[in-house]
Amino acid sequence: MSVEKTPIAILISGRGSNATALIRACEDPSFPARICLVLSNNPDAPGLEMAKKAGLRTLAINHRDFGKNREAHERAVHTALTEAGAQAICLAGYMRLLTPFLTGAWAGRMLNIHPSLLPVFPGLHTHERALQAGVRVHGCTVHLVTEGMDEGPILGQAAVPVLPDDTADILGARVLKQEHQLYPQVLRHFLLQRPVSAPAECALLVG
């Protein structure tokens, strides 16, 4: 069954494994999104090459060209997103702190995936911090992006056990596998629940 596909853009900074998962999902005619642009602030992001090989339109807008002016960089990004016809944005390892300009322009239409069960462990080094804290359950979250970092309404979560011999790398790999399933599932749910003003509730518990 084919559905109407909403044009979405993916923003990345690095390897792009979540972007790959979203690209694969969008290849399914019954998935309610198509990717109109993969954009990176890092011209050397391996994920850009991967997206190009998948036949997608890619663009690098290097934040270094804008010095300390975050908003000027975001305005260029915003123009590119708009010109590409994006109606929603998926941040997938986009390693930039956003200003109110971009979060405001895409409020309710910008999703992010974070490698912890928010609201615990916002920010970086989540797997190390989970191990240090001794939690027994860890995971990932897809949420709407708001001004506060990793603070927006939660759209979906996937949980994994923390096992006795885990290192940050082992735990991170277990979480990443779930990220690749969670992000497309939540995006599908999110797009089908439009209008998006009332965030969809979708909680998953994955073993």
Instruction: Name the residues annotated as catalytic.
Output: 114
- Beta-ladder partners of 7: 34
| Closest to ligand GRF by CB, 6 or 18 | 18
Helices and strands in the chain, H and E counts = 6, 7
Helix or strand (DSSP H, E) at 6: strand 6-12
Sole binder of ligand GRF in the list 9, 10, 11, 16 (CB under 6 A)? 16
| Closest to ligand GRF by CB, 75 or 122 | 122
Sole binder of ligand GRF in the list 56, 113, 154, 182 (CB under 6 A)? 113
Sole binder of ligand GRF in the list 6, 18, 40, 146 (CB under 6 A)? 18
Residue entry with tokens 């990932």: 140
Question: Pick from 28, 77, 37, 75: which is nearest to 57 by CA?
Answer: 37
Q: Which stretch binds ligand GRF (CB under 6 A): 10-18, 65-73, 150-158, 192-200?
A: 10-18
- Beta-ladder partners of 158: 140
Is residue 13 annotated as involved in ligand binding? no
Find the shortest distance in angstroms from Cβ 1 to ligand GRF. 28
> Please, is 155 exposed, middle or buried when counting C-beta atoms within 10 Å of its C-beta (0-12, 13-18, 19+)?
buried
Site string for ligand GRF, 85-104 (x = CB under 6 A): -------xx-----------
Find the shortest distance in angstroms from Cβ 176 to ligand GRF. 6
Q: Which stretch binds ligand GRF (CB under 6 A): 2-10, 75-83, 108-116, 149-157?
A: 108-116
Our finding on whether 174 is near ligand GRF (CB under 6 A) is: no
As a whole number of Å, the CA-based R_g of the chain is 16
Measured CA to CA, the distance from residue 66 to residue 72 in angstroms comes to 7
Residue entry with tokens 């599932």: 185
Measured CA to CA, the distance from residue 18 to residue 16 in angstroms comes to 5
Residues that bind ligand GRF (CB under 6 A): 12, 14-19, 47, 92-93, 113-115, 140, 176, 179
Residue ranges for the known binding site for (6R)-10-formyltetrahydrofolate are 70, 95-98, 112
